[in-house]
Structure formats: C-alpha cells, structure tokens
C-alpha cells in the first residue's frame, strides 16, 4: 500500500462549525489531491497541490480551503460546515500525469 | 467539457461468466486513462494506466483496452472476489485535474 493516512476516519459535526481533515503521506509525491465521493456523482476534485504552498481549485471548491506547509501533509478545511458537505472525503497522491494512490477516506457527517 | 461515462451502472455475473465494462470519454486530448477498483468502505485501488489508442494491459483475470473514444475492462472467468466497484478516470492534456466516472458495481455470484 502507498503510505497515505487520513485523519480522522470518521467525524460527526454540527452545521456552522469549522472542520479540518488531514492527509499524510510518506511517499514524497509532489501532487496531493482532495476528493469527495457522493452517490451518483463519483469522485469530484475539491482542491489539489502541486508543491509546498502551491495549491489550486478543483471543480467543487466552494466552501473548502486547503493548506500544504510540508511535502507530507495536506489539510482540507471546511470553513463553516453545511449538511451538503456530508460526504466521504478521499486524499490521493501522485506524480502529475501518472496514476494516483488513494487514502482510506474520511466519513464526515454534518448534522 | 471533459466527461467520463461508465456503463453499465451495475452488473451481476455468475462465477466464470466473462463480460466487459465500458468507459467512454470526451476530452480535448488524452494524457492518460486509469482504471481503479474500489471495495466498500475503502479507497480506490489503482489497476491500470493506458496512454494511447490500441494499448492493452493485463493483470490476472482483467484486461484493459483503449480506443480514441472509450476503454473496456474485460473480465475473464470472474470469481466472487472480483466483486467491487470499478472506476475509470481520465487525465486531459490540459490542466492537472483527473475526471472520474461514477463507476460500475460488479457482483460475481458463486
């Protein structure tokens, strides 16, 4: 398995609270990605990073921010959680145009 | 607009009954097409990368092929342990994003 961990693995939070999800890799891959997976939508890209402090938006970035201060860590923050952000969140790592490797996921429920 | 469509949405096979999954795509230019397997409650697991039309890759009972508009994942003599959701993704020539299909849920019945 590629060395990717996500924390927490499960979280229940209330509407309006900030939430931070963490992705940690031990593979020294340049690219890191955050996706959400919802029934009927498949995996959708939220944000990605192509280096330390270098990030860009994906197709569903509204309401999310990210930070990458070290090669190995990529944080996803929900600034003010809403029920529509209830989802399973996956982190992935890669080397650009090549395949991605995914973490185990975080199941987030916003009540 | 870059798009990926997978069919069928769900497929039930008897053990040993071969079949194919389809991934059709619309991109301005293809840098790579990827197949993943996803088991319930887990992250997608990488299977294959295809870069150009005519390319084929094989692994055990799975074979992936690519044309200019679609890719097929052929499953030969499947076993119950092949039951999973199979995802297809494309990486267009422009930008750094990958686009995923919604997957085919495969169930192999003993």
Residue A1 has pLDDT above 60, yes or no: no
* Cβ-based neighbours of A103, under 8 Å, separated by 6 or more: A4, A5, A6, A23, A90, A91, A92, B43
What would the two tokens of residue A69 be? 């201060």
- The Cα A73–Cα A41 span in angstroms is 27
Residue B27 has what pLDDT? Answer: 87
Largest CA distance in chain A: 38
Taking alpha carbons only, the member of B51, B76, B72 closest to residue B6 is: B72
Chain segment A24-74, per-residue pLDDT in tens:
999 999 999 999 999 888 899 999 999 999 999 999 999 999 999 999 999
The answer to whether A72 and A65 have CB atoms below 8 angstroms apart is no
Neighbours of B29 (CB within 10 A): 8
Task: Indicate yes or no: CB of B31 within 8 angstroms of CB of A97.
Answer: yes
How crowded is the C-beta side of B102, counted as CA atoms within 13 Å?
Answer: 9
Report the residue of A43, A56, A103 to disrupt the B interface, i.e. the one with the largest count of B CBs within 10 Å. A43
Contacts of A35 in chain B (CB under 8 A): 100
State the virtual CA torsion across B98, A101, A108, B23 in degrees, nearest 10: 40
DSSP-based three-state secondary structure for A83: helix
Q: Which of A45, A50, A104 sits opposite B98 (nearest CB)?
A: A45
Q: Which of A41, A99, A105 sits opposite B43 (nearest CB)?
A: A105
Look at A2 and B22; give whichever has higher pLDDT: B22
Residue A2 has pLDDT above 80, yes or no: no
How far A108 CA sits from the closest chain B CA (Å)? 13
Chain segment B64-98, per-residue pLDDT in tens:
999 999 999 999 999 999 999 999 999 998 888 89
Across A1-111, where does the E strand assignment appear? 4-7, 10-13, 19-25, 31-38, 42-51, 54-57, 64-70, 73-78, 87-94, 100-102, 106-110
How far A93 CA sits from the closest chain B CA (Å)? 12
* Cβ-based neighbours of A62, under 8 Å, separated by 6 or more: none
Q: Give me the mean pLDDT over the B41-49 stretch.
A: 96
What would the two tokens of residue A56 be? 């860009």
């Amino acid at each position: 398995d590629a060395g990717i961990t996500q924390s927490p693995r499960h979280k229940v939070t209330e509407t309006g609270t900030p939430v931070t999800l963490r992705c940690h890799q031990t593979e020294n891959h340049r690219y890191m990605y955050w996706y959400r997976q919802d029934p009927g939508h498949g995996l959708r890209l939220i944000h990605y990073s192509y280096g330390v402090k270098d990030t860009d938006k994906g197709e569903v970035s509204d309401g999310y921010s990210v930070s990458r201060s070290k090669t190995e860590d990529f944080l996803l923050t929900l600034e003010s959680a809403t029920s529509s952000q209830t989802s399973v969140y996956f982190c992935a790592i890669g080397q650009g145009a090549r395949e991605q490797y995914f973490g185990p996921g975080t199941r987030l429920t916003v009540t | 607009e870059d798009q990926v469509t997978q069919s069928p949405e769900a497929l039930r096979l008897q053990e040993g009954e071969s079949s194919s999954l389809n991934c059709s795509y619309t991109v301005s230019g293809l840098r790579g097409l990827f197949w993943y397997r996803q088991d319930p409650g887990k992250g997608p697991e990488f299977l294959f990368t295809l870069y150009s039309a005519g390319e084929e890759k094989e692994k055990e009972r799975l074979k992936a092929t690519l044309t200019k508009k679609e890719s097929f994942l052929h499953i030969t003599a499947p076993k119950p342990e092949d039951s999973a959701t199979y995802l297809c993704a494309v990486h267009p020539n422009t930008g750094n994003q990958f686009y995923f299909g919604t997957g085919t849920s495969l169930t192999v019945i003993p």
